[in-house]
Structure 1
């Protein structure tokens, strides 16, 4: 089997077109098309369905793409192991983080890593969508809340403390909240909902006995913490948010913390990735760097 043809196939999938793949590989479009056709003929199956506007993988193509990614990674790793530059951390990383976590918590560590490892290129997507780590070829993901896929490796990063908040204007309009018994209509919430985070239900307790579950209607549901924060400041409802994002607004008086004597379940944040026997050095270096830098700084805080 022609390994070059496999590499061409992977590039076509990742670029989404023959033209872009040809540019990335410094080949002609006709060469790329020929290499893919030869690979399909060798395998005896069609890998890609071509149309005038897009390329779609066939079911066989999907399976072969996932296998080819692992195959190419093993080859690259083997080359590094026997080359003079085997200690050099280099190559691309595909990383997906939730929006606020990436922007407000992890960004400075990412930037520091890239400054320390100039031969690594990082494609960072900040999104709150649900991701398929293996199917999308994602090297590293940050999971907020529980991990659904037990086949993935999870490395604990931090626990996020949550607080219940509302604006003074909202409380003046709908009434003060002095106990969990006050959390009923006409009070309403601003809800954060996205498939990327698995957040627990609103639960309150004393001394970690979360015996009070809160069920309020919402007028607004959003998919980012920042949107929820802004809506809460504007008086649209009560919100449950990470404490770190609310601190400055407590100081300015834009938000009030509700029921501070009650506790709420903390939400864990973990780095998640596919388990492979031969992990690329760049990926291992990035994971280790984030964990060490983050835990060192926060242990000193």
Structure 2
């Protein structure tokens, strides 16, 4: 296979145009077109569907593009490992994190990592959407709750404790909650629903080993923890939230920790990435950096 043709193909995809790719590669447009045609002939599949207005990757083309970018990373890493710059950590990282986890938990560690490694660049997306780690070329994702895709690598990072909370004004309006038996109408809940977190059903661990499920009608569904927290403080219902996000509101009295004598299931947080035998050094160092930081935090 002509590796120059692979480079031409990835440049065409990145530029979205034969003309722009030719300019970036200092080639003629006809040479770029011929290189791509030769590559498709060699592979026996169409990689790009051409029209007068746009270029669209075929399914085979999309997969070949992702693998080509991985090959590019591997070649760069191979160059580093045999050159005088083998200890230099450099290159891009594509990271996607759930919104609140990124803002309130991981941001400071990411910032300190980038300060230590100025030759690493990062595209960081904070989103609660569903992600395709392999298809989108995501280097690292943080999963809240259980991982469903067994083809991915999952490394335990930390555990998030959950608490049942309500505002004082909500309890003044509907009554106090002193036992799990009180969790019934007219009380209602605020629920967080998004693709980023797989949270178990609300339940309390009782003293006799039994479990009490909290099954209340829902007045409001939101897609972020912050929106749920705000609605709960404003008196719209009960909520189950990460304990760390409620601490300041417990201190100020804006929220009350309900039934604190009963435990709720904790939720694991894991770093998730595609299993690649030759992982770029920047990615390995970044993953190890986060794992070590949280291990050290736990020991304090």
Say yes or no: TM over 0.5: yes
Alignment match, 2:114: 114
- Cα deviation, residue 218, structure 1: 0.9
What does residue range 193-204 of structure 1 map to in structure 2 within 5 Å?
193-204=193-204
Equivalent in the alignment of 1:181: 181
**5+ long unaligned stretches in structure 1:** none
The equivalent residue for 1:77 is 77
Moved more, 227-236 or 170-179: 170-179
The aligned residue for residue 154 of structure 1 is: 154
Instruction: Name the SS of the counterpart of 1:132 in structure 2.
Output: coil
Cα distance change, pair 179–12 in 1 and its aligned pair in 2 (3 A): farther
Cα distance in 2 between the residues matched to 1:105 and 1:295:
14
Work out whether residues 98 and 128 of structure 1, in 8 Å CA contact, stay in contact via their aligned partners in 2: yes
State the partner residue of 1:22: 21
* Contact 2:191 2:222 survives alignment (8 Å): yes
**TM-score of the superposition, structure 2-length normalised?**
0.91
- Residue deviations 1:136-164 (CA, integer Å, cap 9, x gap): 11111101000111121111111000001
- Distance in structure 1 (CA, Å) of the matches to 2:24 and 2:117: 24
Q: Which deviations, in whole Å up to 9, do the C-alpha atoms of 1:169-221 show, x marking residues without a partner? A: 11112221111111112111110011121110001013594611111111111
Within 5 Å, which residues of 2 pair with 1:256-275?
A: 256-275=256-275
Q: Post-superposition shift, 1:68?
A: 1.9
Report the number of matched residues: 299
Whether the aligned pair in 1 keeps the contact of 2:22 and 2:32 (CA below 8 Å) is no
> Offset at 1:277?
1.1
Query: Aligned partners of 1:117, 1:8: CA distance in 2, in Å?
Result: 30
Report the aligned-residue RMSD. Answer: 2.3
Measure how far apart 1:20 and its partner are: 10
CA contact (8 A) 1:206 1:261 kept: no
Give the whole-Å Cα distance in 2 for the aligned partners of 1:179 and 1:53. 65
Distance (Å, rounded) in 2 between the aligned partners of 1:149 and 1:208? 35
Mapped contact 1:18–1:32 kept (Cα < 8 A) = no
Whether the aligned pair in 2 keeps the contact of 1:21 and 1:32 (CA below 8 Å) is no
Offset, 1:5: 2.7
Q: Is the 8 A contact 1:210 1:263 kept in 2?
A: no
**Structure 2: distance between partners of 1:5 and 1:12:** 11
Structure 1 pair 65/183, CA: closer, same or farther in 2 (3 Å)?
same
Whole-Å separation in 1 of the counterparts to 2:223 and 2:28: 41
Alignment of 1:1-301 (within 5 A): 1-13=1-13, 15=14, 17-18=16-17, 22=21, 25=24, 27=26, 30=29, 35-51=35-51, 54-206=54-206, 209=209, 211-300=211-300
Q: CA deviation at 1:51?
A: 4.5
Deviation, 1:41, is: 3.6
* Contact 2:192 2:228 survives alignment (8 Å): yes
Partners of 2:206 and 2:212 within 8 A in 1: no
After superposition, the Cα gap between the structure-2 partners of 1:264 and 1:33, relative to the gap in structure 1 and judged at 3 Å, is: farther
- Say if 1:165 and 1:256, in contact at 8 Å, map to a contact too: yes
* Cα distance between partner residues in 1 of 2:80 and 2:33: 29
CA distance in 2, matches of 1:295, 1:3: 42
Structure 2 gaps, min length 5: none
| TM-score under structure 1 length normalisation | 0.91
